[in-house]
């Protein structure tokens, strides 16, 4: 087992900088497209053999140092009682968005082993064959709450902020319910054998630092403290570069960093609170090989003082990116960082 990724998570010395890519299994890979041509996205997530197959793809093709379970952050929301659909044009749709106390009361507490058995089954297939660690994941409570309240992706998150600012107790009820679901959902993945977990807070950056601290942080801290010490916990507050002094209070082992900050400044902000993961602008991979190599070397140089560094993009890879460039990036990271 190549444990370079786990060592870097724990802040231990490594022979080279480990690398994986957020959304590394996805539409930019022709092999993924082939599987997706046969089944819709939700069926793919819910069929362990297929989910495992596409999880393996980037490990084989890109030679990354970690695999991430193929699934979606919205998967546990369906058994909570909301109808979920992925539309090719609009992205995720959640029907009957949660806008009232009554709607929150109706939400079910999920029973992971019964409601999402396919997640544990996919993990078991994967860990029996992988030669790199497997990362499990969940959405963070706030990010999941935005999808549940808005009914999908949103521009200004007005409904979310309305509930948050006008009826904070009702919003807190929702956040508590989601937090319990997230903990159960992650526990299922840990029991099935994942070796690290990442909590995706994709919309944390829509709040000001003071509201991040009030409305997001306590719930993330509860999740992190449940798993801390058992396996590495990565917290990624996307668009949170301007409030890393608050983000680091999550007390995670690793912090995901987006590309809007120089990684050396992110490391100064986090100090010895944790390792960092990031932070190349995904669109750098639209550039030529010389540009990719130059930007990779700059991130590696900037991360020299980190407690630990896991190379990644600053957000998920996009369908428009040529997969050959992703292969090249991984090669560059390995070569340029080898001691
Ligand atoms: O990283 C991986 O390879 C593991 C798989 C993974 C997916 N989604 C697969 C996916 C992970 C970790 C996610 C997380 C996720 N899902 C997040 C957090 C990360 C982030 O990007 O900020 C969010 C916000 C979602 C919600 C979601 N899922 C959206 C908004 C969309 C539609 C937009 C899009 O990219 O199409 C999805 C769909 C989705 N999730 C796809 C994949 C591969 C594309 C579906 C397809 O095959 O058509």
pLDDT at 303: 98
pLDDT at 339: 73
Is 295 known to be catalytic?
A: no
From residue 270, how far is each of 181, 257, 262, 265 by CA, in Å?
29, 11, 13, 9
Ligand 1 atom closest to 58 (CA): 3
pLDDT at 49: 98
205 lines ligand 1 (CB under 6 A): no
Q: Which residues of the chain have pLDDT under 70?
A: none
128-154 per-residue burial string, b: 16 or more CB within 10 A, e: under 16: eebebbbbbbbbbbbbbbbbbbbbbee
pLDDT at 284: 98
Domain region containing 20: 4-338
Tens-place pLDDT, residues 35-50: 999 999 999 999 999 9
Ligand 1 atom closest to 143 (CA): 24
3-state class of 274 per DSSP?
A: coil
Is 108 known to be catalytic?
A: no
CA distance 9 to 235: 12
Number of domains making up the chain? 1
238 lines ligand 1 (CB under 6 A): yes
Among 25, 26, 62, which is best to mutate for testing ligand 1, by the most ligand atoms less than 8 A from CB? 26
Q: What are phi and psi of 65, to 5 degrees?
A: -95, 0
pLDDT at 205: 98
Q: What is the CATH number of the domain that holds 34?
A: 3.20.20.210
CA distance 198 to 124: 18
Whole-number average pLDDT of the chain = 98
Please tell me which residue in 72, 180, 251, 262 is annotated as part of the active site: 72
pLDDT at 317: 98
Please tell me which residue in 32, 147, 235, 255 is annotated as part of the active site: 147
pLDDT at 323: 98
74 lines ligand 1 (CB under 6 A): yes
């Amino acid at each position: 087992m190549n444990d370079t990724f786990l060592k870097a998570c724990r802040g231990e010395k490594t022979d080279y900088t480990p690398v994986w890519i957020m959304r590394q299994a996805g539409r930019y890979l022709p092999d993924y497209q082939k599987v997706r041509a046969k089944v819709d996205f939700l069926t793919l997530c819910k069929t362990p053999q297929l989910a495992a197959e596409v999880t393996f793809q980037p490990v084989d093709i890109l030679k990354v140092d970690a695999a991430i379970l193929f699934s979606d952050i919205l998967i546990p929301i369906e058994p909570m009682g909301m109808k979920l659909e992925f539309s090719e044009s609009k992205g995720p749709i959640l029907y009957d968005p949660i806008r009232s106390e009554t709607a929150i009361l109706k939400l079910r507490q999920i029973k992971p082993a019964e409601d999402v058995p396919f997640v544990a089954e996919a993990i078991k297939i994967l860990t029996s064959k992988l030669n790199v660690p497997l990362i499990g994941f969940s959405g963070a409570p706030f990010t999941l709450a935005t999808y549940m309240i808005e009914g999908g992706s949103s521009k200004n998150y007005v409904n979310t902020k309305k509930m948050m600012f006008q009826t904070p107790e009702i919003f807190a009820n929702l956040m508590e319910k989601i937090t319990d679901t997230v903990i159960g959902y992650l526990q299922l993945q840990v029991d099935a054998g994942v070796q690290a977990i990442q909590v995706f807070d994709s919309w944390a950056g829509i709040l000001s630092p003071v509201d991040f601290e009030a409305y997001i942080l306590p719930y993330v801290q509860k999740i992190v403290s449940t798993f801390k010490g058992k396996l590495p916990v990565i917290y990624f507050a996307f668009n949170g570069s301007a409030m890393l002094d608050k983000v680091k209070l999550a007390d995670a082992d690793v912090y995901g960093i987006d590309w809007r900050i120089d990684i050396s400044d992110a490391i100064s902000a986090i100090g010895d609170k944790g390792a960092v993961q990031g932070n190349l602008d995904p669109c750098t991979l639209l550039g030529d090989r010389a540009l990719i190599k130059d930007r990779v070397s700059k991130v590696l140089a900037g991360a020299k003082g980190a407690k630990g560094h896991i190379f990644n993009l600053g957000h998920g890879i996009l369908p428009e990116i040529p997969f050959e460039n992703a292969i090249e990036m991984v090669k560059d990271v390995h070569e340029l960082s080898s001691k």
